[in-house]
Structure 1
Amino acid sequence: MSATAVPMIVRRPARDWTMPAGLLVAILLLVVGGNLAGNGVYPQTLAGSASLPGWEQGSLFRVVAVWVASWPVPGLDSATALLLIYVFLASVGAVLTYRFLRVSDWPAWQALAALALIASHGLMLYSVTTTSAEFLLVIAAGALIPAVRRLEAVGDVQSIINYGLTLTLLLLAGPILAALIPLLVLAVPLREAEARQKPQVFAAMLLVAAVPAVIIIAGVWAMAARASIGVDTLAAPFRDVFTPSRGPLLPGLILLAVTAPVAAALLLHLVVPDRRRKIFTSLLAVALPLYVAVGNSLFDWGLAVWAPAAVMMATVIGWLGTTRIRPWMRWLVLALLLLSSLGSWMLARSWADAAWLSGLLPMRLFSFHI
């Protein structure tokens, strides 16, 4: 009696869309930026002090970006070079966002749809294509949430080290977020019962979290001294960050509510019972944009009115990439991302520069009419 051969079913590995997703976002940003240039709308000029260009907001990110953009490249002016740097940073962010969504059990097509909705958001496009200083604030805020989530979920030495390294991004982004570093560093030992009871454990955990930021401060100080940059120049943005300057709060909050309603998913996640929810991470993701909104109205931060909403989008994206949510909530998030994108364009005249809006059409890539 002969045995019947059973055909073997070989499944083809799923296509990895990580790099194509980042490339598509880069193409979108280059098309928008090129179209704006073709219509005579160019990114922000590289203003700043003669000794340290880009330091007017106290952002080392900005200083490095301006410095790299100033390198002489034939046929490429510094403003366009700065735009390319921003596009590169946004594309890296898109790659990481897609990758983290897939790791958080998002199906490929849903992760791609979420990324497309994020990339089409008016505030995201505006912050990149205008090479705004606020975009670097957005990057740092978005990067903080995954580090906090891992610290809250795992809490081992490696997560504390990663957390401390992420805090350096807040320092590099400028004094607005750097002011939160002492509180965020103290949160590491305070969350551990053993550290609260034993001073040596408290000091050790505090040191691990704080050392990366201290190294950055020492390095910047040493390089500034070598370049004969005065202490007043370095300290000015940090000294003036909490200068009182009353401004309207309501416009920023309304813009945040209309252009970032996806934050409602975080609040819903807080009240729906789930063993995987991390309350501190979710609360921080919501509180950080509110801190930017309230601070921008109370102090002379000089941020654009859309900055809190953009920060909210970034913290929500960071939260989504590190939080496993239920299938029905993924559908809800996609719907809220769609509402966020539509809301950003509906109120575009209230937050975007008129020249930028008029430069979106007609299609004229770098002066080539399409």
Structure 2
Amino acid sequence: MTLLASSAPVVSARKPLMRLATAIVWIVSLAALLLVASHVIEAGFVRRDIEALRAGEAWRNGGWLSQLVLSLVGLVPNLDWQQSILSLTAAVVAGLAFGLLYDRLRASGWTIVGSVAMLVLLASHANVLYAITAASRGLPLYFAFAALIPAIRQMEDVGDVQSTIGLGLLMPLLLLAGPLTTPLIVPLALGAALADPDGRRDPRAFAAMLLVAVIPALIVAIGVVGFVTQSGIGIVNVILPYYATYGALRMGDVAQSLGILFTFAPVAVVPLLYCIWPNLPERRYVWSALAVVAMPVWLAVGRMIFSNSMLPFVPAVALLAAYISWLCVVRLPFLLRAIAMLALAIAVVASWTQTGFWDDPLWKAALFSGLPTDPGYLGLRPGL
């Protein structure tokens, strides 16, 4: 019997490519976002992306990735097709992200009801909905922050070469996301080098780890320059976003920008509470929690110091993206988890009610009641 039992083939249990619940969340999210986006378009609203494209600003604002997508969409001659392509792309990417977030929230100990509630709250946030249905140029920035938080957490936990390589491979996202996110590569690369025990002791190991973290971004930068040169877009267009941002300093109202950030995203209190919360169910990871708040704060400050056209709510949505990603990799006690959900609910209410900080009446009119459809309408709203 023992011989027969030992000779039986061992069948390894393979994890499915996508769990059924994750697929359902993705499909439902995709359908809901497409429905909202199509409703807004049919009501006569013209996306901010299209306005920037028609105004010739495709290569002046935002990051390389979003501008490249806009330039490709600009090859389509029909306005309706342009809007549909952008809305479909944003909805598909956001829907996939929501499905992944649900899967990771469940893996971090959230219940089905809690995970779904967090995603519904996130999708109900006015600025998140606006970013998907009206102004998707910030999506690469949001996904960059969401992807970096787990990598920072992994580096903080392990601090070996493999985690540094993982973080380094994500650094190009900051380069592609926009001029204001590019400087974040430097402190993150230094942190990656210092996270390695050998890097803290040996200058040669520090230099090696620093190169490991920075080289992927350099390779992507060289690739982007080569691509735009060969494609005829022109190297000048690659430099324009950086020149427009860092060409002149200005001292804007930094306090107001930070006020908008924490009004639309008061969830920043949760990672800060986590840093001092007693009796956590696992080891405390302070640096990744602080990064959730620090990176969006840099955006809020930078957009007021440098000549940047970033919309006021972009740092808040970036904070929400980093926040929900952080919840996917941290285990919180029940009370702190309840505070996390409450903070997101407060953010949703503030995003719809605090119109003194930011508002787009045309978009809200199209979303709730509809506007008379006018195919020729291309009146540029302020704030481009």
2:351 maps to 1:347: no
C-alpha separation between the residues in 2 aligned to 1:77 and 1:185?
41
2:343 maps to 1:336: yes
* 1:208 shift after superposition: 1.7
CA displacement 1:9-33 (0-9 Å, x = unmatched): xxxxxx8421211222222222221
Q: Which moved more, 1:255-264 or 1:295-304?
A: 255-264
- What does residue 64 of structure 1 align with? 68
C-alpha separation between the residues in 2 aligned to 1:150 and 1:66?
34
The 1:53/1:347 distance shift into structure 2, 3 A limit, reads: closer
Task: Report SS of the residue matched to 1:42.
Answer: coil
* 1:80 shift after superposition: 1.9
CA displacement 1:132-181 (0-9 Å, x = unmatched): 42333222222211111111112233322221111111111011101111
C-alpha separation between the residues in 1 aligned to 2:253 and 2:221?
34
Aligned pair partner of 2:264 in 259, 262, 267: 259
2:146 maps to 1:142: yes
The 1:199/1:85 distance shift into structure 2, 3 A limit, reads: same
TM-score (norm 2): 0.84
Could you tell me which amino acid in structure 2 is paired with residue 269 of structure 1? Y
The number of aligned residues is 352
2:329 maps to 1:319: no
- Contact preservation (8 Å) 1:53, 1:67: no
2:200 maps to 1:196: yes
CA displacement 1:201-237 (0-9 Å, x = unmatched): 2222122212211110111122122234443332222
- What does residue 168 of structure 1 align with? 172
CA displacement 1:104-152 (0-9 Å, x = unmatched): 1111221111111111111100111113423332222222111111111
Structure 1 unmatched runs, 5+: 1-14
- Contact preservation (8 Å) 1:26, 1:90: yes
Cα RMSD (Å): 2.6
C-alpha separation between the residues in 1 aligned to 2:179 and 2:227?
19
Could you tell me which amino acid in structure 1 is paired with residue 177 of structure 2? A
CA displacement 1:73-104 (0-9 Å, x = unmatched): 99951122112111112112212211211111
- What does residue 9 of structure 1 align with? none
- Contact preservation (8 Å) 2:45, 2:363: yes
2:35 maps to 1:17: no
* 1:337 shift after superposition: 1.4
Structure 2 unmatched runs, 5+: 1-18, 375-384
TM-score (norm 1): 0.87
- What does residue 220 of structure 1 align with? 224
Percent of matched pairs sharing the same residue:
32
C-alpha separation between the residues in 2 aligned to 1:360 and 1:232?
38
Map 1:351-362 onto structure 2 (within 5 A).
Answer: 351-362=358-369
Task: Report SS of the residue matched to 1:359.
Answer: helix
Could you tell me which amino acid in structure 1 is paired with residue 269 of structure 2? A
- Contact preservation (8 Å) 1:137, 1:311: yes
Q: Which moved more, 1:230-239 or 1:69-78?
A: 69-78
- Contact preservation (8 Å) 1:249, 1:293: yes
Could you tell me which amino acid in structure 1 is paired with residue 255 of structure 2? L
